[in-house]
Amino acid sequence: MHRFLSGARLAEGLLDPALLGLSWIGLAEPTHVPQGLPCQQLHAPCLLGEPVEAWFGARPAQAGTRHGVRYRHDGELLFGVIEVVEDGAALGGSSGPVLQRAGQQAYESVFKLLAEEGYPHLWRIWNYLPHINQETDGLERYRQFNIGRHRAFEAAGRLVMDSIPAASALGVQGGPLSVAFLAGRTPTRSIENPRQLSAFRYPADYGPCSPTFSRAALGQHADAEWLFVSGTASIVGHQSMHPGDPVAQTRELVANLDAVLAEASRCSAGPAYRLSELSARVYVRHPAHLAPVQAELAEVLGTSAQQVYLLADVCRAELLVEVEAQACHLLS
């Protein structure tokens, strides 16, 4: 269902009729991507690894565009992308900061599409927005986004703990608010981390509305079980740990990954999940931190699964590194 592609292998991937969509890392516009194929561009430099991730279904996929969402689906899974420009005049309607309204509109559009196409269960979401830690209209932009996202979940009746998907939200260097997602006909099982307070139960210190995501999610597709691990950083309970120290933060986030995998393994229908099998995106805030973070992660993630490192801002200004990941186990 997922693999990283080099530029040389991209053409091969584009010929696969089961291709659902792409994630494209880099500041340059994506090239050779067929019109209509969902492609989320991450406006962030790729520091190490292959710059394209491809998502595949189990059978030939069909494409469509509705409510501003470009999507492809194979009868069991749907991959979609929506971009919303922060244009106050175009967004109109509800009050509040422009990014808050953009986030709410993006998620409302996603929920409408999923209801109409019959894919009610969100599995995994990727959110990217510029200047995530900047304060505008008296509130940090990430907190503005959280309000809009929360209101859309609430209006759709989706603030049910077991159905909240895995997700990430990162700051990039430009572009519109961009949301990509995987959704299924069947539900996932939400996984929480015993070392951390559930994100949707954060105290008001972190904004008027808590972030709406679970720490991980387990889903089954085509005789396989998929684990999606949300963006994971150096947070214990609800507090950021080891400010200013990227190595210590990396070690702390590895402890969090280990705890999430243990919980997922307890709920899994297959074998236990291991750190060494995780395919991951690694976000670092400063280029100088790439080498020490990579060295620290290499000891636990190994090289058997693919990882890509990119330059991006984590949702809290004091956090220097974040990892998101997935793994797959065959069930037969």
138-147, 270-279, 295-304: range with lowest mean pLDDT: 295-304
pLDDT of residue 63: 96
Query: Dihedral sign, CA of 202, 203, 205, 208?
Result: positive
Strands (E), 196-291: 216-221, 224-232, 235-236, 239-240, 279-284
Active site residue 322: yes
For residue 176, give the nearest of 111, 134, 127, 210 by alpha carbon. 127
- What mean pLDDT is predicted for residues 299-322? 93
Q: What confidence tens digit (pLDDT) does each residue in 145-162 have?
A: 999 999 999 999 998 877
Residue 61 CA to residue 70 CA, distance in Å, equals 13
Mean pLDDT, the chain, integer: 93
Per-residue pLDDT tens over the stretch 206-255: 889 989 999 999 999 888 999 999 999 999 999 999 999 999 999 999 99
Question: Mean pLDDT, to the nearest integer, of 134-148?
Answer: 96
The fold of 2-330 is 60s Ribosomal Protein L30; Chain: A; (3.30.1330)
> How confident is the model over 82-94, as a mean pLDDT?
84
Cβ neighbours, 10 Å, residue 191: 24
Instruction: Write down the catalytic residue from 50, 53, 117, 322.
Output: 322
> Token pair 């684990």 is at which residue?
227
pLDDT of residue 283: 98
> Looking at residue 124, what is its pLDDT?
98
Domain ranges of the chain: 2-330
267: left (phi over 0), alpha (psi -120 to 50) or beta: alpha
pLDDT at 93: 63
Of 3-7, 259-263, 265-269, 317-321, least confident by mean pLDDT is 3-7
Q: What is the pLDDT of residue 94?
A: 67
Q: Is 77 exposed, middle or buried (0-12, 13-18, 19+ CB in 10 A)?
A: buried
Separation CA 196–CA 57 (nearest Å): 33
Q: Is 149 helix (H, G, I), strand (E, B) or coil?
A: helix
